Every structure is written in C-alpha cells, then in structure tokens.
Structure 1
C-alpha cells in the first residue's frame, strides 16, 4: 500500500480502537474496496487529495517546531523523531514479551492502562498476539502544540510500518490471522510532555 493510501486509511479510521499490535489493530479497508473497482478508484483519488493536504500540514508543523525549538530544545525535530522511533520498537517488543515494566517510563498512565487491559484480555481468552519482522517505515510529525504550561505540550506523529501480526491460541497452538507475510499499516501516535521527556499517550489506527 502506498503512503498516501496509508495516510487516508489512518485518518478515516482515527476514531476506531482495535486490538492486535500494541494499542492498534488490523485493517483490511482497502482490501475490501478492491472488490469494487469504482469505489476503489474514488477512494484512491480522495487519498491522493488528503495526502497532499497532509503533506502541507507536515511542512507547516516542521516550521512551527523550528520556532518552538529556538526557545526550548525539547522541541528539537530530530529528537522528537528519535523519541517516536525509540518508543515504537520498545513498546512493540514489550507487547511481544507480555511485559510492560521495561516501557513504563515511556508511557502515560492512560496508555499504560490501555495496553495492560488489552494484554489481560488476551490472557483471559487464552490467546497471545504475536508480532514478527517489526519495521518502521516512516515517521511524520503532523501537529504540535506548545503551551505556557509545559505539562500540556503535545505532538502527534503519523507513522507507517509493517510486521507479521497474528494470534496464537495458547490451548490448541493454532495460529489465527496472517502468520506468513508482513503487512503494512498506518497509525497516529500522540505524545505528551513530562518535564523534558515525551510519553506515549495514545495510538489510533
């Protein structure tokens, strides 16, 4: 799936909360649309338009971050991007290990509770979500807000990645989902400031 399509899918379903992956979930929207060529073409054109709008927004946000960083180095663009990348892999690995303790310092209380709830749910139904070949293909910061009260500062990053993502039935050993091929996805990650650090507060698929 190209980047524009990922961006469209990301924003179309930004209010939907799904399981599978750490805080996110599978999609299949464009696969469904592919069964209807006319609908797919329409959706693709809309995706291109939205993609251009988002690209302009990314450019404006980059300029805004440069202004913020002049007064506060916590807003340094490279550091923000590194924070997203570091948090992404740490959280996915913690999810795979079914152990959030190593990443508690990277999460807000809200995000920690959500991930714990999801992992507990998997245990309750005797399943484990398995992630393999975890990759992060791109990170674009699409919005940033700098308040007088630093504790309210936040930024949003649009990410695209790929991985093999399936469920394992712990009783039968049977695998559910795509356990052979890596699939692409797009998500919106929101970070909130805690002193001079940034904590993951929300993931939307």
Structure 2
C-alpha cells in the first residue's frame, strides 16, 4: 500500500478509536480488573454509525486472524500441544477456573492455570479486596466463543504462545461485605464481554499470562501467526 494510503487508513482508524473512547468509559471489575458497565448517553447515539463501522472492521479482522491461526495450527499439528481440540478444552478450563478464583478472592484455586507473574498480579488485586472488605461477584458466567487469533510455534517450546479472543456474558457486581450492599454493577443484568487472553506454554502445559480487556484494531492488526 502506498505511503499516503497507509497514513490515510491509519488516520481513519485513529479517529474511530478516539470516538470509541469518547463514547463510553468503563468501570473496572471482572477477573483481571475490567468491565462493570458503560456510560456515554447521547454521544453514543451521535457516533453510532461510526461505532458500527468500527465494530464491522474488528469483526472482519477477528475472522481473518482466526483463519490465519487455523492455517498455522495445521502446520503445527506434528506437535500434540497444538491439537485444536485440546487447546479449546484447556482454554475453557482456564477461563472458568480463573473467574472462580477471582470471585472467591483465592488465587490458589487457579494457580495451575496462570503464569507466576499473572498469579501474583491477581493475588495482589484480590488481597486488596479482602483488605477493603469488598468482593467482586461473577455469576451466570457464559463463555459463548473462544477464538484463537494468533499462534506462535517456535523451535524452542518455552517461547510458544497463543492469543484467544474470549466472548460471552456474565453478571458482574461488587458488594461491601459489611452491609451486603451493591457498590458497583448490577445483580440482575448480564453484561457482554470481549477480551484477549494470552497463553504461554510451560512444561506443565498451557497457562494464562495476560488479559487484555479490550479488543481493538491495534491489537488485532499486530497479530501474526508463525510456525518455525
């Protein structure tokens, strides 16, 4: 693509990203610290056509990256660790264990599913909840889709990684344990989520290493599946 066309495309994407940020601000909850509802009111209505365009581009990129990842998985099939069915089962197992550990404020329940770095990060966050006398309740947790959007299969297995787009819904709210009052979120209304989860390969298997709680164009455009 010529330089001017690239600059023009990047400018449009930057504008769409800025519009999306202005349209609504997230209050944080959910495993890893995201979610909890959006605001934005009239601005969302005004920017709705642009948001539809943005959502369409994100959906198209997700499908494209998913196709690229599936093609790479076929090449990596010689290694049992890249078996698509086993990956799917592991990703789903990790997802539900991590959410359960978060809402129970006990990261040891999912320690076998997280890297040491992420375990310590989540433990710090949930220990703070214990100290503050709050709890982030996650109920009716539904993972409707887990789409692998990037794989990196290196000769050195310790460098292997994958990214998956996690989509679903859950009821997500905070309570103050002293009173039982809801401090944030809704006990009745499920909210949709779309997140990017990074998994790394360890001698014990695949573990979660990072949660990116927004799926944006810059993330998706940076994904490139490789097989050495």
CA drift of 1:34 comes to: 6.0
Q: TM-score, normalised by structure 1?
A: 0.85
State how far apart, in whole Å, the 2-side matches of 1:34 and 1:56 are: 33
Residue from 110, 122, 125 that aligns with 1:118: 125
Tell me the CA shift for residue 39 of structure 1.
1.0
Q: CA deviation at 1:139?
A: 0.6
TM-score by length of 2: 0.77
- 2:200 matched residue in structure 1: 192
1:72-151 pair list within 5 angstroms? 72-151=79-158
Larger C-alpha radius of gyration, 1 or 2? Answer: 2
67, 81, 95: which one pairs with 2:75? 67
Structure 1 runs of 4+ aligned residues shifted over 3 Å read: 33-36
Deviations 1:161-181 (A, max 9, x none): 111111111122211221111
Secondary structure of the structure 2 residue equivalent to 1:165: strand
Alpha-carbon distance between aligned partners in 2 of 1:196 and 1:171, rounded to the nearest angstrom: 40
* C-alpha contact 1:131 1:166 (8 A) present in aligned 2: yes
Deviations 1:11-55 (A, max 9, x none): x88xxx9842111411645x5266442312101112102211221
CA contact (8 A) 2:28 2:36 kept: no
Report the Cα distance in structure 2 between the residues aligned to 1:127 and 1:155, rounded to whole angstroms: 33
In the alignment, the residues of structure 1 paired with residue 161 and residue 42 of structure 2 have an alpha-carbon distance, to the nearest angstrom, of: 37
Deviation at 1:98, TM superposition (A): 1.9
Q: Is the 8 A contact 2:137 2:173 kept in 1?
A: yes
175, 180, 186: which one aligns with 1:178: 186
More displaced 10-residue stretch of structure 1: 17-26 or 156-165: 17-26
* Greater RCO, CA 8 A, separation 6+: 1
Take 2:31 and 2:189, find their aligned partners in 1: how far apart are those partners?
19
Question: What is the count of residue pairs matched by the alignment?
Answer: 192
1:20 to 2:26 alignment: no
Partners of 1:175 and 1:27 lie apart in 2 by 12
Unaligned runs of 5+ in 1: 1-7
Q: State which of 42, 45, 50 in structure 2 corresponds to 1:37.
A: 45
Residue aligning to 1:168: 175
